[in-house]
Amino acid sequence: AQAMAGNQATTRPITTGTSVLGIKYRGGVMLAADTLCSYGNMAKYKNAKRLLSVNSNTLVGASGEYSDLQSISDLLKANALADRCTADSLYEEDNNEECAKEVWSYLRAVMYNRRNKMNPLWNDVVVAGFKQNTDGTTSDTPFLGVVDKIGTAYEDDILATGFGGYIALPLMREKYRADMEEGEARALLEDCLRILFYRDCRALNRVQIAKVTKEGGVLVSDPYELDTFWDYEGFKQNKGSLGTDGGW
């Protein structure tokens, strides 16, 4: 089952975002991503928001094709609105919004379905928020999960997509503790984003951090720039003359 005759299926991403990082901490979950959307080799959109809130207690972030992220965002927001309209009660306190785990499960169905039609949404989507209690209310237990373009769904305490999997994840795993304070988690993520900017040629030092907490709901920061330091010996050294392969 390909795309309809006359239309083509997605075969390659065009406008792309790089790594998204996620980490649980004491009281919530935090996501981080830079604000660059590359157009192949060109750093085209330097203020693109890749972290968004879907309802009052769920955050979503994605790497890969930006237009597909926009489509996913529209879909999830329409779902949230439809839930609100068709809820049993006119009162917010009686109603339950979809929790992050439900959004993650739904996305898995969407992504897998598209993959089976050989026309994927070319993204790795990270979902952050809380789980659901058996009575339907939002739980206190933080939730962090990822769904990839072929519909693989995975949840963990620390996640990273794309290049972040190679460079940031080992650093995050080393520093992670279940009861990390918000400040520690943020410092860790910023450090990872900085290192990604040094090493990933599709990354930028203009970044966004977002968090979800039980009391405060969803908070997405405005984009801001990270300081960088280029005077490390390792950066200045002429690696070509070392007699090795000239790399790292």
Binding site for other proteins (CB under 8 A): 74, 78, 81-82, 84-92
Q: Kindly give, in sequence order, each residue whose CB lies less than 8 Å from that of residue 42, ignoring residues fewer than 6 positions away.
A: none
161 vs 217: CA distance, rounded Å? 24
**Closest CB 77 distance from other proteins, rounded Å:** 9
**Helix intervals (H) in 96-202:** 100-116, 163-175, 182-199
Contact 202, 163 (CB under 8 A): yes
Task: Using the minimum distance from each CB to other proteins, give the nearer residue, 92 or 140.
Answer: 92
**Closest CB 10 distance from other proteins, rounded Å:** 21
Catalytic residue among 10, 18, 137, 244: 10
Contact 80, 141 (CB under 8 A): no
**Closest CB 80 distance from other proteins, rounded Å:** 10
- Reduce the DSSP state of residue 43 to 3 states and report it: strand
Q: Kindly give, in sequence order, each residue whose CB lies less than 8 Å from that of residue 37, ignoring residues fewer than 6 positions away.
A: 15, 16, 17, 44, 45, 48, 50, 66
**Closest CB 123 distance from other proteins, rounded Å:** 20
Strands 58-65 and 51-55: antiparallel
Q: Is 138 a catalytic residue?
A: no
Task: Using the minimum distance from each CB to other proteins, give the nearer residue, 56 or 116.
Answer: 56
Q: Kindly give, in sequence order, each residue whose CB lies less than 8 Å from that of residue 194, ignoring residues fewer than 6 positions away.
A: 205, 226, 227, 228
**Closest CB 237 distance from other proteins, rounded Å:** 52
6 vs 97: CA distance, rounded Å? 39
Strands 138-147 and 153-155: antiparallel
Task: List residues with catalytic annotation.
Answer: 10
